[in-house]
């Protein structure tokens, strides 16, 4: 099996297709949704499916759906496996019906993550940079714990499903899910990996790296010991990064085929050159 790391960018769809056509089975990083197959089979229009999902990348989702339908009609088996999000959706459905229930582990994790996120948002509203750095570190720790649980649950479910499939499998994964390959190996699978953003960056002559927020989260995910000074400066850089990065969905053009990737790499390289006080000054200049 091959774990392919990618992100929700239009510029990576063509790269993903080049890899996907080599496989007979593709496992998507999303919870089961029968409407997807209704779209594949022409029972509902694309817009009806898109209206049912929550997305901040509408153009990507539209084009990616078209690619998946094409692959499906060519005979490639499409599976949706993301048990954490599946269980979270069930918890939300129960809440809508006035019931507290569902998977206890997921419910407790989400409660913890929500609390950390609210504290982060409250600090952001106050624009107290030092407090915001502390809340960024706290949220990154909680988010790391959640990513580990997600990868554990997904690896377990994939192993259960793939065990009955006599075919090579491509597994879609977001870039931060770095623990998934080793977790799958623990189930006895031979696992290869491919990072589309990293490979494209190298092809363009860039040194690809995670942005500061992801870098900090990954260190917590892997249990790496980090100093307090490293935590603070990396969290400070992450705050400048999210303040500078484009929030708009950008599309490839003849002049720039990978607009998001280049934007992210340039800003990451810039913020990684900053010390704590410089981060603080830039953040306050942007927001205050």
Distance CA 64, CA 17 (A): 9
Residue 226 pLDDT: 96
Q: Contact, 194 vs 209, CB < 8 A? A: no
Q: Indicate whether 271 pLDDT > 90.
A: yes
User: What 3-state class would DSSP assign to 193?
Assistant: strand
Whether residue 235 is predicted with pLDDT greater than 80 in this model: the reply is yes
Q: How confident is the model at residue 166 (pLDDT cuts 50, 70, 90)?
A: confident
- Do 249 and 11 form a contact (C-beta atoms < 8 A)? no
Per-residue pLDDT at 49: 94
Name the CA radius of gyration of the chain, rounded.
20
Out of 99-103, 173-177, 198-202, least confident range: 99-103
pLDDT band at 163 (very low <50, low <70, confident <90, very high): confident
* Residues 77-91, mean pLDDT to the nearest whole number: 97
Concatenating the DSSP letter of every residue in 114-140 gives HHHHHHHHHHHHHT-HHHHHHHHHHHH
- Sheet with 25-28, strands from edge to edge, namely 77-80, 25-28, 169-174, 2-6, 192-195
Reading the block at residue 62, the tokens are: 């539209």
Taking a C-beta distance cutoff of 8 angstroms, is the pair 195, 3 a contact?
A: no
Sign of the C-alpha dihedral computed for residues 155, 161, 164 and 169 taken in this order: negative
CA 35 from centroid of its chain's CA atoms: 22
- pLDDT > 90? residue 135: yes
For range 178-194, the mean pLDDT: 97
- State yes or no: pLDDT of 228 exceeds 90: yes
| Percentage of the residues of the chain whose pLDDT score is greater than 70 | 100
* Predicted confidence (pLDDT) per residue in 203-223, tens digit: 999 999 999 999 999 999 999
Q: What sign has the CA pseudo-torsion 77, 162, 92, 117?
A: negative
Tokens 């022409």 locate to 42
Q: In sequence order, which residues have a C-beta less than 8 Å from that of residue 1 and are 6 or more positions away?
A: 162, 168, 169, 170, 171, 184, 189, 190, 191, 192
Mean pLDDT, residues 22-27? 97
pTM higher than 0.85:
yes
């Amino acid at each position: 099996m091959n774990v392919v790391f990618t992100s929700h960018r239009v510029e990576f769809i063509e790269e993903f297709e080049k890899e996907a056509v080599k496989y007979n089975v593709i496992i998507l990083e999303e919870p089961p949704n029968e409407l997807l197959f209704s779209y594949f089979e022409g029972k509902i229009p694309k817009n009806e499916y898109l209206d049912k999902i929550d997305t901040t990348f509408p153009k990507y989702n539209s084009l990616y759906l078209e690619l998946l339908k094409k692959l499906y009609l060519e005979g490639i088996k499409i599976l949706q496996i993301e048990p954490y999000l599946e269980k979270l959706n069930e918890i939300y459905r129960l809440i809508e019906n006035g019931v507290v229930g569902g998977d206890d582990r997921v419910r407790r994790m989400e409660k913890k993550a929500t609390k950390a996120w609210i504290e982060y948002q409250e600090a952001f509203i106050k624009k107290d940079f030092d407090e915001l750095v502390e809340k960024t570190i706290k949220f990154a720790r909680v988010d790391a714990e959640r990513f580990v649980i997600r990868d554990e649950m997904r690896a377990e479910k994939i192993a259960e499903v793939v065990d009955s499939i006599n075919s090579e499998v491509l597994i879609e994964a977001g870039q931060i899910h770095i623990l998934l390959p080793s977790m799958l190996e623990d189930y006895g699978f031979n696992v290869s990996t491919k990072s589309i953003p990293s490979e494209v960056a190298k092809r363009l002559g860039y040194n690809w790296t995670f942005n500061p927020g992801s870098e900090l989260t990954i260190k917590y995910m892997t249990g790496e010991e980090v100093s307090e000074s490293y935590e603070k400066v990396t969290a400070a850089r992450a705050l400048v990064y999210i303040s500078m990065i484009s929030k708009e969905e950008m599309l490839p053009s003849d002049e720039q085929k990978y607009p998001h990737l280049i934007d992210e790499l340039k800003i990451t390289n810039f913020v990684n050159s900053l010390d704590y006080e410089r981060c603080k000054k830039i953040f306050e200049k942007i927001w205050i």
